[in-house]
Each structure stands twice: as C-alpha cells, then as structure tokens.
Amino acid sequence: MDSRTRVFGGLVLVGILIGAIVAMLAWRGGETSDPASPTSFGTESDDADTDTDAEAGTDTAEVRPGPLEEFVSEAVAFIEDLRGAPFNERPVVVALSDAEFVARVENDLEADFDESPENVEVETVIQRAIGFIRPDETSDEVLRQFLAAGVLGFYDPETKELVVRQVSELDLLTKSTIIHELTHAYDDQHFDLDRPELDDDDFTERSWTFVALAEGSASHVDSAWESTLSAVERLALQDQEASFGDPAMFASFDFAYLLLQVSVYIEGEPYIDSLVADGGYGALDAAFAEVPLTSEMVMERGNAIDTMPIDVPVPPADGDVVWEGVGGQILLDSLFSGTFTATGDAATGWGGDAMVVYRADGQSCMRWDIVMDTAADESELVAGLRQWTALRGGEVSTVDGRVRLDRCA
C-alpha cells in the first residue's frame, strides 16, 4: 500500500468513513463477517475461474460471474459513462475479511515504516510539537491505529491493486467503497497517481492538494452513484455506515488530528464539485495536470479571497532542526476546529507561512510564522491562536509583521 506519511500524517488513496467526523466528535461503528479467504475479481480472477471450470469439464460459456464481479462490471461502466472515457484496463478488486484487511494494512504499513524509519522520526517530532500526539507516542503507532479503525478500502498506485473489506454479502457500503476505489484506479490510469516527488515539496502544499484532488474525485463519483439509489437504499447505506467499526477506538485520538486526516475528503469533494460545475470534467483533468499550490486554493472556491501565496522566510530555530516547510490554511483550520473555541473563521485570509520544527532540551518544538491578507485577518488570527494556546500551550507574538506561534511538548 502506498501509505507514505506526508507532513502531519496525511493519507494516500484510502476510503475512510467520515460521517460522524463531519457531524463533530464521534466515528460510527459495527462488525463484519470473516470469510475464510480473500477473493479477487477482474482479469486475473476471470482467468482462474475459467481454468477451474475447464478442468471440471464445465461448459465455460455457461459460467456466470458472482455478485461482486457483476457489480465491479456495473461500477466500471458507471464511472466510464460519468467521466466520458474508458478504463485503459480492467482493475483487479481484492476483497478481504475484516481481520485479513486489518492485517494487510498493518503489514503494508510496517513495510513502509521499515523502509523509511527517518520519516517516522520526523513525523513524530512534528506531531508532538503541534500537539497531535502525546510526548510518549510515535507517529507510526497512531497512524496504524487510525487506519485499522476507519479505513474501508484502499487503492495502491504502485501495485495497481484495489483492496476492500469484504462483508458476508455485497451490501451497499461495500459497493460504495468499490465505486470510490475504482475511481482511484480510473484516475491513476489517466493521470498517474503515483507521484512520490510531491512528498519532498515541503514549501508548497501540493502533497495535500494532490490527495484532496484524488479523494475529492473519488468522493464526487461515489456521491453521483449514491444519487442513483432509491430513498430506501440511501437510508440502508446510512445504517450500514453507522454500524461500521468501533467508535470507542477513536476516543484516544486528538480531534484536530482526526480533522486533518479527513480534510482531503471534506474539502476535496466540494472543490471537485465546483470544478465540474464551472468547467466540466475537463477542468478536473486540468487540475490533475497542474496541481494547486496551497490548501487555500482548494478551500476557498470563490473569487473574493486572494489565494496567491506570500513567500515567508523560515523562522530561526532554538535547537536542532528536524523539518522546515509550510503548514497552510488547512492546518490552521484543523487546529481551530479541533479546539471547539469561538475562533470562527480565524484561518480564512491566510496569506502564507513558514514553520521550523526542532528539538530542544529533550522536547519537540515548533516555531510557525504566518502572514495574513489583511490587518483584520491578522487580528482575528491572533485572537484565535491565543484561545488555542490557552488550551493547548504555547506562546503567540508578532515579529516583523508576522504572527508567530511557538510551542514545545
């Protein structure tokens, strides 16, 4: 699984149940059955089925596909009709039991973590400094718990494999997940979703905006498919969403951390909706070709706000530097929304920023310089950050026309 942890632990091409996050506070939960073994559908499994039937002396012309395979064919046709072009090749769908799916996610994550332990260390220092995780936690263990709790399926742009959690029968939640992940496969075939170079682009937010494009695209298609369901079916889908997972599993996560994880869905889908409404699917194609530089460009979809970023110099560190880069409007918005204070739209009007994360006296620290578009925006930001630091610790100051946030943990 391509689960490279981007700055602040962003996710890549996974299907996550976000309903209760949007509603604020709790995720939804339930259980699935545990079939004995994984099954795959697509070109590879078609061939395997044909060989088995031939050995048994069965007339292959009479072999009928199973329900999951039939739905994959329906979903492929739906996506091709909506997006206006065919898949280059039929994707392979692998369905795993709940336990097998969690084990697969954990094994793939372990392989990624073992391959780049230095990234885990950097992420850990960053997330401790911001307050996403406790000083005794590490970024890899928290991400592992999060993915096991909330992920319904994923698409791997490197292996081209689409994996979903299998249930006892092909319910609407499984169908919705397949639609979502098949859209990732479609976009990957047409626009290439394997872009590791974006992970190293720390002074733009293209690592976040690219994932918001991909997840927004998949969510847009999923919503279009859901609109074809009857009212009874939509209620049934909501019930199935409400019975997935264990809400208690999310009680230990920092809420701002949860908000940032699902931000690519919450902000991505309305962004894609606006692109398609204004310029059709050609506008979406163009966005994949020229990825937005900042989260503000995704979040602020009108023309009233100046979205061209201001270059902000990296502030000095008071210790050993671990990382330098941009936090962006999406990080500010997640912090403010996660504290439930009367900060309003304190993140709106973001103009640019630069952050340095460093170690000092055994602590993980950050210094974040932020510039806003107007004096009024700056005053609102300062007020919001003061409320935030009153709850989470840290200091707010102004330095050379920039708002500065310092925090150590």
pLDDT (tens digit per residue) in 310-355: 999 999 999 999 999 999 999 999 999 887 666 768 999 999 999 9
Inter-residue contact 269 to 219 (CB < 8 Å): yes
The per-residue pLDDT for range 77-116, each reduced to its tens digit, is 999 999 999 999 999 898 888 889 888 888 888 888 888 8
Structural domain that includes position 386: 320-408
Identify whether residues 135 and 248 lie together within a single domain: yes
Identify whether residues 248 and 325 lie together within a single domain: no
Identify whether residues 257 and 356 lie together within a single domain: no
* The last residue of a domain, from among 241, 268, 289: 289
CA distances from 103 to 117, 165, 223, 235 (A): 20, 11, 29, 31
What type of residue is 11? L
In the numeric block, the tokens 């107007």 are attached to: 374
The per-residue pLDDT for range 344-396, each reduced to its tens digit, is 689 999 999 999 999 999 999 999 999 999 999 999 999 999 999 999 999 99
Identify whether residues 216 and 351 lie together within a single domain: no
Beta strands at 92-96 and 161-165: parallel, antiparallel or unpaired: parallel
Rounded to an integer, what distance in angstroms lies between the CA atom of residue 253 and that of residue 25? 11
The per-residue pLDDT for range 123-176, each reduced to its tens digit, is 999 999 999 999 999 999 998 888 777 788 899 888 888 998 875 578 899 999
Identify whether residues 222 and 327 lie together within a single domain: no
* The last residue of a domain, from among 289, 312, 345: 289
Identify whether residues 271 and 373 lie together within a single domain: no
* The last residue of a domain, from among 289, 311, 332: 289
Identify whether residues 281 and 332 lie together within a single domain: no
Q: How far separated are the first and last CA of the chain, in Å rounded? A: 32
In the numeric block, the tokens 């502030």 are attached to: 315
Identify whether residues 344 and 282 lie together within a single domain: no
Rounded to an integer, what distance in angstroms lies between the CA atom of residue 247 and that of residue 26? 6
